[in-house]
Amino acid sequence: MAQDTIFALATARGKAGVSIIRMSGPKSWDAVRALAGSLPKPRIASVRVLKSSDDVTLDEALVLLFEAGHSFTGEQSAELQLHGSPAIARAVLSELSDIPDCRIADPGEFTRRALENDRMDIAQVEGLADLIDAETEAQRRQALRVFSGDIGALVETWRTQLIRAAALTEATIDFADEEIPDGLFVEVAELAQTVLKSLRDQKKGHAFAERVRDGFEVVILGAPNVGKSTLLNRLAGREAAITSDIAGTTRDVVEVRMELEGLPVTLLDTAGLRETSDVVEALGIARARDRADTADLRIVLVSGSEMPVGYVSRETDIVVVSKADTGNAGGLSISSKTGLGIDQLIALIGERLLALGDGGSVLIRERHRLAVDHALDALNAAETWLARDYIEAEIIAQHLYTAIRALDSLVGRVDVEDILDEIFSSFCLGK
């Protein structure tokens, strides 16, 4: 089916050094020719004067052409690198929209075409979306791994092993027990085991990968007036929470998003944990306790050796002595006033968060975890059936297929043709 040719401003709106208009589809080179008069060689940037249909000069631009099969979308494409003025971009976009069969692209349409033309799989599309959204170093690295196709590569390994297991199993269906080679189901079980282990490893790291994407919650706990809000401001580098020496100022949870040691962190300042008869303050304290329960990491701020009321310690808690400038001392002492100990605290927060990593994972979304869970269920079932005395090959094969389909859904590929191919080509019981 002939596609429309789409175009859009690929750079952010507004003034800039350069603005780029991108085009994709069968008419993109024709559109460039209409504006630039002549075409440069593909993939060699060349300067052209762009003119409107009534011969008014619009801009001098760097023009780049890509042949079908050599572009981001897989289609014939072009880029116009313009001087970064909103007026130029507007004029060129308006000219393009007058060219027949050319239209402004829908959001994400270039990537959708890349997906449709098999230039990337669905997980890579997700990686690309995350890469564009990445604000911290850890997010950039993680998204780049997914965009580069790490999920696809893993799926490929898993499916090769499972297809072999399914093919071996399937091939026994029409055979009498005594005809089945010794050790065949041992190999099937080993293949399933290998994939199970790899899936479990990936799942272990999922929670961490998801946090890298969405942010870690770090909560600051402590008695009123111990200096929580001041610490939050010091860490955030700006006045994010109200500080005062009237106990109970922070009645709710104050959140600040920041980057600590390359990781995205939402830092939470909580209402001072203390006994109170003030209803509003009590609500704040209840919320603080809830958030403290689910936080990834807790910083417990103390002024001496006394712990906050109702505090139940956790192994990963970082206990910090506040207001070191006033003579308070203890393990890790800090002063949010002078900055003493703050760098050590930041390093420790980064270290503790990274320690949650557990080997890392490319399963960065809930969708990925669900697909892997589905595959794990199927493989666990296959294992149970494999452990029985009487082997039900058809049931085992079904579970293996279910696992393969679940894993294929990670990259958006679901077909059984490959399984059939494997059965008929590489496997033969000699009949």
Instruction: Return residues touching ligand GDP (CB under 6 A).
Output: 222, 224-230, 243-245, 249-250, 272, 322-323, 325-326, 335-337
Query: 102 or 254: whose CB is closer to ligand GDP?
Result: 254
Closest CB 367 distance from ligand GDP, rounded Å: 39
Query: 337 or 367: whose CB is closer to ligand GDP?
Result: 337
Residue type, 1: M
Closest CB 297 distance from ligand GDP, rounded Å: 18
Largest interatomic CA distance in the chain: 88
Spell out the residues 6+ positions from residue 72 whose beta carbon is closer than 8 angstroms to its own: 24, 66, 110, 114, 119
Query: 96 or 299: whose CB is closer to ligand GDP?
Result: 299
Query: 224 or 284: whose CB is closer to ligand GDP?
Result: 224
Closest CB 334 distance from ligand GDP, rounded Å: 7
Closest CB 250 distance from ligand GDP, rounded Å: 5
Starting from the edge strand earliest in sequence, which strands make up the sheet with 216-222, in order?
254-260, 263-269, 216-222, 297-302, 318-321, 332-333
Closest CB 60 distance from ligand GDP, rounded Å: 57
> Which residue is closest to ligand GDP by CB?
227
Query: 316 or 326: whose CB is closer to ligand GDP?
Result: 326
Closest CB 279 distance from ligand GDP, rounded Å: 19
Query: 203 or 337: whose CB is closer to ligand GDP?
Result: 337
* Residue with tokens 């209803």, as numbered in its chain: 279
Closest CB 242 distance from ligand GDP, rounded Å: 7
Query: 237 or 359: whose CB is closer to ligand GDP?
Result: 237
Query: 98 or 306: whose CB is closer to ligand GDP?
Result: 306
* Residue with tokens 């200096």, as numbered in its chain: 227
Query: 73 or 233: whose CB is closer to ligand GDP?
Result: 233
Spell out the residues 6+ positions from residue 48 whose beta carbon is closer than 8 angstroms to its own: 35, 36, 37, 38, 40, 60, 61, 63
Closest CB 359 distance from ligand GDP, rounded Å: 37
Closest CB 289 distance from ligand GDP, rounded Å: 15
